[in-house]
Structure 1
Amino acid sequence: MQLIITDAWLAKSRAIHLSGTKLILSTVLVSFVLMLIAAMLYHWVFLKGAREGWPIVGSLVKFVVKDEFEQRDRFLRENLDVLARKTGEMQAKLTQLESLGERVSGLAGINPAIIKKVPGQGGVFISGRSLSMEELRVTLAELDQLTDQRSDLLTVLESRLFDKKILSMMIPSQLPVAVGNLGSSFGWRIDPFTGSSALHTGLDFQAETGASILAAAAGVVVTQELHPAYGNMIEIDHGNDLVTRYAHSSKTLVKKGDMIKRGQKIAEVGSTGRSTGAHLHFEVLVQGIPQDPQKFLAAGKHLPLGQLTKVSGVNPSLQSAVADITSRWAPSQR
């Protein structure tokens, strides 16, 4: 490359020849000088002008700084809004989990206070670096996924426990009289009217006239009538071909089609029909076939075993027979 320099005063010209290496070095040198001059100008004009209060420079610096702060604030505000929404969603899900936990613990017979109790924590403190915004978002996403999994699991457990509780409420294991002594048991006996051997298809509970008769399990009243032999009689259908029968009552308090809760008072003890005195004749029928009610009453775990044995004369070993009987009328549970 050739440069020609002309001096107007001396009327002379001078030619300078630059090779490739010299040209590169010259370009680098000129660039460095320009950058140095620009840095000095920035320091002198902007920084010094801002410190000394030059109006134009100060306004320009304030505008640049303000724009930078606004961009930073906008970025932080957008990320905080996202984190706030995520936090709100997590709070809602945790409330749902707490509610599910209380219901599941109630169905499982566990004190809900144990679930709510905050576990103890401690240990040596080893400090670590602060989480970045991206790491915090990832952590929240993992917690969100874990919360969904726990919620699904608790929902399934609640459904299973609820089904199990409903099934237990449909099994006639509630004593049908609040106060009474067991008279005649299920099986063959001497008939009190004829004096001959006859099958007694239920249990006789001796009680005073007017004593409360309670539903042994939840169900629907399918029969409420005055029967020649059973007197004032009530039959409750518990589903799966399981029916309980309450006979000889002096007064009935329910009618056909009524929904009955477990332990609900449905009648009062009496001596109507083919009876020699005030008592409750209680039967359990599976597919229309009489069963020994003692085997079902033995499953009444809500009562102390001693009280159950005292009132109904139940042998605790009979509890194992309940599963064999219920498996025939609840095939869906097998």
Structure 2
Amino acid sequence: MHFIITDASLARSRAIHLSGTKLVLALVGLSLVMMLLAAGLYHYVFLKGARERWPVVGALVRLVVADEFEQRDRFMRENLDAMARRLGDMQAKMLQLEALRDRVSGLAGINPNDLKVAGSGRGGALVEGHAMSMQELQKTLDDLEKLTGEHQDLLTVMESRLIDQRLKTMMLPTQHPVNGPLGSPFGWRIDPFNGHSALHTGLDFQAVVGTPIQAAAGGVVVAAEVHHEYGNMIEIDHGNNLITRYAHASKLLVKKGDLVRRGQNIALVGTTGRSTGPHLHFEVLVQGVPQDPMKFLNAGRNAAPAAVAALATDVAAPRAVH
């Protein structure tokens, strides 16, 4: 681009050539000057006018400020309404959690009325159609946080109770120790060797030699030996003064001190010791007193929590042979 500048007094002219780059730089410089002038004008007219309360400028500034406050208030109100709706959803879920807590407490054997906490079942402070203030919203959040902590503590207690019940169930001999039909039951019978009446202190399961014998519950092997009457015999301690005995085995698969789990193969059926044929003689002893193993096996077959709990109580305080 060419510019020609003519000086009339000197009768001279001067040509100026601007390339594309120089022209762009000139426009940028001109734009910066205009921006600075505009900023200076704004500072002088609006800020100075607002401070000195010029009539027209003051009214304009008040309109601008009022519009900004209105937009900010509308933004905050929309966010408060959104948070209030989310709080309503949280409170609905909290009520569902309370119902679930009552059902789980029943499974844990805990009276739900004993687990009621402050604020339970109130539903919260939200009212449909009521615009909440920031203070009301914060108070509701604090109440929910407190209620959530209380429910967490209660659920932790119930979880511990359920785990304890599960462990007790796993330590009760409720699984059949061998796959075979029942022969002689627990109780008084005629002894097959001397023909006299005698107490049969266990159950006899008929099975062929070599049939696996399984642990009726988890525990620790306290005896794996040859007995003059029981033959190859295993005793497992399940805790709480409860021991199971497996007799007349042909082969022992565990040794004293082994930790066994429910259903683990511990021996093979045989006819060793005082035996008239291949079978498993299975006993349950509580504090050294023989108990009828069938009540344990029936509890395992029914899988009823109440029956297992009653059985655990009975194990904790046996009174007589039954």
* 43 and 251 in structure 1: CA distance in 2 versus 1, 3 angstrom threshold: farther
Counterpart-to-counterpart distance in 1, 2:309 and 2:133? 61
Which residue does the alignment assign to 2:122? none
Q: Counterpart of 1:298 in 2: which secondary structure?
A: helix
Distance 1:258 1:320, change over 3 A: closer
Q: Which residue in 2 is equivalent to 1:189?
A: 189
- CA shift digits 1:91-142 (9 cap, x unpaired): xxx9xx89x97xx69x769xxxxxxxxxxxxxxxx96243222221111101
Normalising by structure 2, what TM-score? 0.58
Look up the match of 2:222: 222
What is the letter of the counterpart of residue 155 of structure 1? T
Q: 1:196 to 1:319 in 2, by over 3 A?
A: farther
- Aligned pair count reads 232
> Any residues of structure 2 matched to 1:37-56 within 5 Å, and which?
41-46=53-58
Q: How far apart in 1 are the matches of 2:56 and 2:295?
A: 102
Measure, in 2, the Cα distance between the counterparts of 1:237 and 1:319: 18
TM-score for the superposition, normalised by structure 1 = 0.56
Q: Is the 8 A contact 1:298 1:319 kept in 2?
A: no
Identity %: 62
Q: 8 Å contact 2:240–2:315 — kept in the other structure?
A: no
Q: Check if 1:203 corresponds to 2:203.
A: yes
Q: Are residues 286 and 181 of structure 1, via their aligned partners in 2, closer, same or farther at CA, if it must alter by over 3 Å? A: same
Q: For residue 157 of structure 1, what is the aligned residue in structure 2?
A: 158
Secondary structure at the aligned position of 1:145 is classed as helix
| CA gap 1:45/1:181 in 2 versus in 1, 3 angstroms | closer
Structure 1's 147 and 319: CA in aligned 2 closer, same or farther, altered over 3 A?
Answer: closer
Q: Is the 8 A contact 1:243 1:284 kept in 2?
A: yes
Q: Deviations over 1:258-305 (max 9, x none)?
A: 22222322222122222222110001112222222223223224469x
For 1:157 and 1:324, the matched residues in 2 are separated by: 19
Other structure's SS at 2:299 match: coil
Quote the offset at 1:234 in angstroms: 0.8
SS at match of 2:225: strand
Confirm or deny: 8 A CA contact 1:204 1:282 kept in the other structure.
yes
- The 8 Å contact of residues 108 and 161 in structure 2, kept in 1 or not, is answered as no
Unaligned runs of 5+ in 2: 1-49, 110-126
2:170 match:
169
Contact 1:222 1:257 in 2 (8 A): yes
Which residue number corresponds to residue 257 of structure 1?
Answer: 257
Q: Deviations over 1:14-36 (max 9, x none)?
A: xxxxxxxxxxxxxxxxxxxxxxx
Amino acid in the other structure paired with 2:143: E
* Alpha carbons 1:284, 1:291 under 8 Å: kept: yes
CA distance in 1, matches of 2:59, 2:142: 45
Give the alignment's Cα RMSD to 1 decimal: 4.4
- What is the distance in 2 between the residues matched to 1:167 and 1:158? 14
Change (3 A) 1:323 1:219: closer
**1:1-334 maps to which residues of 2 (within 5 A)?**
41-46=53-58, 128-177=129-178, 179-302=179-302, 322=311, 325-329=314-318
Unmatched 5+ stretches in structure 1: 1-37, 51-60, 110-125, 305-317
Q: Are the equivalent residues in 2 in contact too, given 1:173–1:298 (CA < 8 A)? A: yes
1:269 touches 1:280 (CA, 8 Å); kept in 2? yes
Aligned partner of 1:133: which letter? M
Task: Measure how far apart 1:323 and its partner are.
Answer: 7.1
For each residue in 1:153-189, what CA deviation from the matched residue of structure 2 results, as whole angstroms up to 9, or x when unmatched? Answer: 1111122222222222222222211x21111122333
Judging changes above 3 Å, is the alpha-carbon distance between structure 1 residues 320 and 258 closer, same or farther for their aligned structure 2 residues?
closer
